[in-house]
Structure 1
Amino acid sequence: MRGTFLLAGSSFMFACWYLIQSKVLSVYPYKYWSSMATCLIGGFQTALAGVIVRRDKDAWKIGCDINLLTIVYSGALATAGKYCLNCWAVAKKGPSYPPMFNPLSVVFTVVLGSIFIGDDITVGSLIGTTLVIVGTYVFLWAKANELPEK
């Protein structure tokens, strides 16, 4: 139950963020600085939540191993890269565009999990990925056929 509420809350907050980001970009032209500020504030919030949830000092030790590589990858590519690409997409296409591509992570998870981890591709995952791809296509088709504002 807790995970469902957190996921719904995350989706709602991302929807709010895209709307705020489109307004910020119309006033503040330095879009990558706003992305950096977002990542920095999110990093402080995550660190605070981590300290509250995980008080064991051994859990916070970082060595020169896969844990360090995971942290650098997650920070540099998964977070900073994503925010920069989202910021660029919001500036070019508007706030409704980037959230439409979030469900594609399910498709990539199914495919890459099958390739690298050896997960089974089930009927449910095939139906889900098909629905995600069809939904994304319908959205892109509708955006391409949208009437211009007068």
Structure 2
Amino acid sequence: MLQSKVLKVYPYKYWSTMATCLAGGFQTTLVGIILSRDKNTWKLGWDLNLVTILYSGVLATAGRYCMTLWVVSKRGPTYPPMFNPLSVVFTILLDSIFIGDEITVGSLVGTAMAIVGLYIFIWGKSKEVNEK
């Protein structure tokens, strides 16, 4: 919702995305320094920790912001929040594939409800667009 307001004032959507990510990174770094002053916790090597940080920064943060801004500019601010339940669906699936967690009845019911809710929203939104 806030991104649609930023786009009206500052039309350079990718620069505003970068500024948002940098501000969040600085805030997170400041809180991290305050909470963990041990220098050994801040050391990075060529291991899974570095891959996780790069993945989180590039794909999970910057990529998501760019995709969200693109969707907001094309369809409006109501679309991106509707896809948040899909992250739970992907988490359940990837947990079962890579970690070996069991898929329970509750997770299946929740996944089905998220998919049905998303489908109903998109169906209703398409009918609304067709009426206009």
Aligned residue for 2:48? 66
Aligned residue for 1:132? 114
- CA distance in structure 2 between the aligned counterparts of 1:33 and 1:121, rounded to whole angstroms: 41
Q: CA RMSD in A?
A: 1.0
Secondary structure of 1:43's match?
helix
Post-superposition Cα deviations, 1:66-124, rounded to whole Å, max 9, x if no partner, equal 11111111111111100000011111111111010011001001111111110000011
Alignment identity in percent?
Answer: 68
Pairing partner for 2:14 from 29, 32, 37: 32
- CA distance in structure 2 between the aligned counterparts of 1:118 and 1:136, rounded to whole angstroms: 27
Query: What amino acid sits opposite 1:65 in the alignment?
Result: D
Q: Where in structure 2 are the equivalents of 1:114-125 lying within 5 Å?
A: 114-125=96-107
Aligned residue for 1:91? 73
Secondary structure of 2:49's match?
helix
2:26 aligned with 1:44, yes or no?
yes
* Structure 1: runs of 5 or more not aligned: 1-17
- CA distance in structure 1 between the aligned counterparts of 2:21 and 2:72, rounded to whole angstroms: 17
* Structure 2: runs of 5 or more not aligned: none
Equivalenced residues, count: 130
Post-superposition Cα deviations, 1:6-41, rounded to whole Å, max 9, x if no partner, equal xxxxxxxxxxxx2x2112212322110111011000
Aligned residue for 2:92? 110
- CA distance in structure 2 between the aligned counterparts of 1:63 and 1:51, rounded to whole angstroms: 19
- CA distance in structure 1 between the aligned counterparts of 2:95 and 2:41, rounded to whole angstroms: 27
Pairing partner for 2:63 from 81, 97, 100: 81
> How far off is 1:141 after superposition?
0.7
Secondary structure of 2:102's match?
coil
- CA distance in structure 1 between the aligned counterparts of 2:113 and 2:31, rounded to whole angstroms: 35
